[in-house]
Amino acid sequence: MKSASPRGCARSFAVGLLLVACVVDVLFAGVDGTSIVPTAPPVWPTLVVLFVGLAAVLWPAGRRPRWLTPQVRTGVPALVSALYSLGSPAFKENLFGPGEVLILLCLLFVAVRHCPPRWAWGCGALDVGALLLLPVRLLGPLDVAVLGYMLGGLVLVGMFAGLAVYLRTMDYRRTLAVSETRRSERLAIAADLHDFVAHHVTGILVQTQVARMMARTRPQELDPVLAGIERAATEALASMRRTVGVLRDTGDEATDRRPVGDLAGIAELTDGFASPVQQVTLLRDPAVRDDLPHEVQAAAFRVVQEALTNIRRHAADASHIEVHLRDDAGRLEVSVADDGRGGTQLPVAAHGGGFGLVGLKERVSALGGELRAGPRGGTGWHVRAVFPAGRR
């Protein structure tokens, strides 16, 4: 047998307290309805006010009709209570009890927290007005005792309205935090797709063009090119599978499967990029340590990957590419240079939208580094990134 949760117990207690208070209201109205006070109104108006208020407060959320909006729930009962107060003969001998007070305070809470911003003020003011009119039924208008009751009512109004405003503010902040988290995740996934999948697909496209040319001139040398296409396609599928795994999974396992690289992966990246018409040279300074922070190594891998992808897209005529890893006064310097003149035969749709370098610069800047990209002196293009290289 399952035990009730603390929230469920608190809700049950609040509902029971509200029902008991409403019973007290009915008993008060019944006493006034005896022959002792023959001019007192009957009990049924009090029952109508309490029934409308309880229906608005206690109607289950999952069973409310569409027309029962927060505006209707908070406005109609307050209007009924106010009309009952104003319609009492000579404003006397219509008692009010704790039940109606609690109902109006609960409706004020609902109005401030759940009504749309434009309606919250109006519905809240209507609930407050109905609450402040209650003492007029018994004591008459503008009496000293009435003013005392109203002062106490204002204190209760401030407490309930303040709590509702606080909770509404927390809900708004929570919504903003969730939206920002989702946006960050979308940007991270977009970066993964761009950095890895686009890199492999671009390689497949370039090698396919090479294979078509070789099929006419050197068909006997096609096998290494086709093997490279197969390898690039396999890596693209693996990257997509890891990215989809990040979308589906939650927790630390998703982080472990994130498609990131390191300094050792740069060597594999350059080896896989080389082709019969392009030579790639990797020069690594022996002073570059292997114990650099993982996020620095991953960012360095992304710099090289993005630079090589852009060479395929925009400088397919480059014959020699140099990748340097240096230790620059305790900082990690990563540079990629080519001798291309900008010749490319890729379709326009494969050129990219210029988002790669923008995202790469944001990634490098987030680590406290610097990224520069521009033409070399003479021919070719040069990309250089510098990272602070503290130990783990």
347: CATH: 3.30.565.10
Domain boundary residue among 106, 141, 176? 141
Q: Could you tell me whether strands 279-284 and 320-328 are parallel, antiparallel, or unpaired per DSSP bridges? A: parallel
Rg (CA), the chain: 37
What is the side-by-side strand order in the sheet with 331-338?
279-284, 320-328, 331-338, 381-388, 370-375
Tell which phi-psi region holds residue 306, choosing left (phi > 0), alpha (psi between -120 and 50) or beta. alpha
Give the C-alpha separation, 21 to 53, whole Å: 13
Assess if residue 339 is contained within a domain: yes
Which stretches of the chain drop beneath a pLDDT of 50? Answer: 1, 32-39, 90-92, 250-259, 348-351, 353, 391-392
DSSP β-bridge partners for residue 283: 324
Residue whose entry in the numeric block shows the structure tokens 């609960």 = 106
Residue 388 is assigned to a structural domain of this protein: yes
- Indicate the burial class of 52 (C-beta count within 10 angstroms; 0-12, 13-18, 19 or more): middle
φ, ψ dihedrals at 345, nearest 5°: -115, 15
Q: 1: which 2 tokens?
A: 């047998």
The answer to the question of residue 101 being in a domain is yes
Determine the Cα–Cα distance for residues 261 and 266; give it in Å rounded to an integer: 8
> For residue 36, what pLDDT is reported?
38
Residue 96 lies in a domain: yes
DSSP for 48-111, written as a single string: HHHHHHHHHHHS-GGG--TT--HHHHHHHHHHHHHHHHHTSGGGBS----HHHHHHHHHHHHHH
Percent of the chain at pLDDT exceeding 90: 8
Task: Specify the pLDDT at position 33.
Answer: 42
Is 35 contained in some domain? yes
Count the domains in the chain: 2
Q: What is the pLDDT of residue 299?
A: 84
Average predicted confidence (pLDDT) for the chain:
76
Among candidate residues 122, 141, 160, the one where a domain is terminated: 141
With respect to residue 267, please indicate whether it lies within any of the assigned structural domains.
yes
Residue 184 domain-assigned (yes or no): no
pLDDT of residue 13: 80
* Pairs from 341-344 (Cβ < 8 Å, separation ≥ 24): 341/315, 341/317, 341/379, 341/380, 342/314, 342/315, 342/317, 343/315, 343/316, 343/317, 344/313, 344/314, 344/315, 344/316, 344/317
Number of H helices and number of E strands within the chain? 12, 5
Distance CA 66, CA 384 (A): 60
Question: Does residue 39 sit within a domain?
Answer: yes
313 CB-near residues (< 8 Å, 6+ apart)? 202, 344, 346, 350, 351, 352
Picking from 141, 156, 172, the residue at the C-terminal end of a domain is 141
Q: Which pTM does this prediction carry?
A: 0.49
- Grouping H, G, I as helix, E, B as strand and the rest as coil, residue 320 is strand
Structural domain including 324 reads 261-392
